[in-house]
Amino acid sequence: MKKISFQVLLTLSIFFLLASTCPATDMAIMTGSSKGTYYQFGLNLKTLAQKEGINLDVVNSNGSVENIYAVFKRPRTQLGIVQSDVLAFVAKVQTDETLKKIARKIKMVFPLYNEEIHLVGKADIRSFEELSQKRVAIGEEGSGTYLTTKLLFKITGVSPGESVEIGTEQALARLKDGSIDAMFYVAGKPVKLFKENISREDNLKIIPITSQKATDFYPKAEIPAGTYPWQDETVETIAVKAVLVSYNFRNYYCNHVGTIARLIADNMDWLMENGHPKWKFVDLDYPLKGWEQYDCVRRSLQKKPQKRTVQQPRKKEDNPVLDAIKNTF
């Protein structure tokens, strides 16, 4: 019997060591502010993905407009959470070739939950219509709040005196110091920012949105009394649907996105018990008009379920979705 050389033994040892420490599959999900519901959902999915050896990077962003383009364009970005009205806007604009490509390539994984439109303002503002001539924060450029607010003003004909394009945390600070009169934030209740950073002493309120033109376009919703410690009465508003999306991959990421979808479907009880409160309102079978489920997801869901125990700096580039919004309104 021939002796095995030291060099061969060393090579085999290195091979088996590397095989046993093979890194997890790397994926990323675009979410939103660290105090927003998207980000919390991302963290919940990260926990599930780890059970399948998938390292899911939860990426902060400005929100839906950035997210949909990142999933379409950015390398190693397989998933994103976006508002349904952003999806509808992209699908509707047929004059821009890039947006047409995005509409073809972006695929729905699951519809998620309704995101209530929070309009928070000074206590003397009684209704959405009274925003005329007020200073209103409409969300940071590129966020879902930004698009929804612009759409809302467009369809209702209400025109604020000044539209201030800033993020939610800055908007709340300016609302509290009196330099603006109201702010919009599209996010699933309860919003962490509003629970932790507003008190009764701030003398702020959630302003109802009941305009007929608004409710004809968006589904009605409400924010029940006590959702926030400083909120005593139920407030009527409107909502959009949050949607988990992916790119139309035709390589191994197709299977990994399917695995994530399978994990969600198999572990809804765990998510409702341990995840963000909004998981209790997720309907994975909700028929989102105009959008079919990603075929990689459908195939994964049709497989027999298995028993489960339960970034670098990026170069800023133009976003054609954002450009289209600017040119539309």
pLDDT per position as a tens digit, 292-326? 899 999 999 987 554 444 444 445 567 777 777 77
pLDDT value at residue 318: 75
CA dist 162 and 164 (Å) reads: 6
pLDDT value at residue 267: 95
Residue 36 scores a pLDDT above 70? yes
Helix H or strand E segment including 194 = helix 192-197
Residue 17 scores a pLDDT above 50? no
CA dist 25 and 46 (Å) reads: 12
- Would you call the peptide bond into 190 cis, given omega within 30 degrees of 0 as the criterion? yes
pLDDT value at residue 4: 52
pLDDT value at residue 139: 93
Tell me the range of 147-151, 204-208, 296-300 where mean pLDDT is highest. Answer: 204-208
pLDDT value at residue 1: 45
The residue-averaged pLDDT of 188-210 equals 94
pLDDT value at residue 316: 59
Alpha carbons within 13 angstroms on the beta-carbon side of residue 13 total 7
Closest to 119 (Cα-Cα) out of 179, 175, 63, 177: 175
pLDDT value at residue 270: 95
Residue 248 scores a pLDDT above 60? yes
The residue-averaged pLDDT of 221-236 equals 96
Which structure tokens are listed for 134?
């007020």
Tell me the range of 97-106, 214-223, 226-235 where mean pLDDT is highest. Answer: 226-235
Closest to 316 (Cα-Cα) out of 144, 74, 34: 74
**DSSP 8-state assignment for residue 298:** H
Ramachandran class of 245: left when φ > 0, alpha when ψ lies in -120 to 50, beta otherwise: beta
Q: What's the gap between Cα 266 and its chain centre? A: 21
Helix (H, G, I), strand (E, B) or coil at 17: helix
The residue-averaged pLDDT of 71-75 equals 92
pTM reported for the whole predicted model? 0.75
- Report residue 5's pLDDT band, with 50, 70 and 90 as the boundaries: low
CA dist 220 and 222 (Å) reads: 7
Whether the CB-CB separation of 55 and 24 falls below 8 Å is answered with yes
- Start-to-end CA distance of the chain, whole Å, equals 81
pLDDT value at residue 7: 58
Residue 137 scores a pLDDT above 70? yes
Min mean pLDDT across 98-102, 118-122, 140-144, 320-324 is at 320-324
- The crossing angle, in degrees rounded to 10, of helices 320-328 and 144-156 is 20
